[in-house]
Amino acid sequence: MTSLQLTDTVGALVRDYPSLAALFETAEIDYCCGGRQTLAEACAQRGIDAQTFLKELEAAIETAPEPAIADLSLTALVDHIETVHHAYLQRELPRLEAQAEKVAAVHGSRDARLQQLHATVVALAAELKPHLQKEEQVLFPRLRQLEKSYDRAVDVLIPAAIDCMQREHEETGVALSQLRRLSDGFTPPEWACNTYRVLLAGLLSLEKDLHQHIHKENNLLFPKAIALLEAKRLACAS
């Protein structure tokens, strides 16, 4: 059986064993923005028995084949993030905004939190749209070029761009926490109409996709880019 340690960070665990993401989602442990926490710290924060959870993680690794996302080249990983996660957001955000507006208009008098939920969805979409543009138009082209050649004038800007993206990821994490809180963990009340239920299901899917999306950038793409950048700098200096 695979041996994990309580001192392993949750981000590294999902990086090395992507199938563990589902267990972390169920336990409401943040492995993307909070990926630097050790497993012991994350369990303590959630009030979970760390040794029991560790055994569950090890058992899950034994039964689930792991996709080779971590082994992708820098360019291939960028392409994957764009075609899978950016495309998902561009497709789903307008739909979720419209549904949240409708549910707030119809049921807002019954539950005032629905107005806040709608406002949070709109604010999140407004933050994510320019974020995706900055990645696709500024950072990602530089990362693709970095894999081909080293240009000091361009590559010196990469760490600052990565820092900016990570700060914005933190803001996204806060918004996701607000959505979960305002919706009682995306659980519809008994009186919820079909549109309300579809909205909450969509927001739950959004949360899961953004967790994966941010994890792949924070814990896979960005460290890979910094490592390649440092290697090329050293090679250029020697």
Contact 81, 221 (CB under 8 A): yes
The rounded distance, in Å, linking the Cα atoms of 156 and 146 is: 11
CA 161 to chain centroid: 18
pLDDT for the residue 98: 96
pLDDT along the chain (238 residues), means of 10: 83 84 86 88 93 88 68 93 94 95 95 97 98 97 91 83 96 97 95 92 94 94 94 80
pLDDT for the residue 142: 94
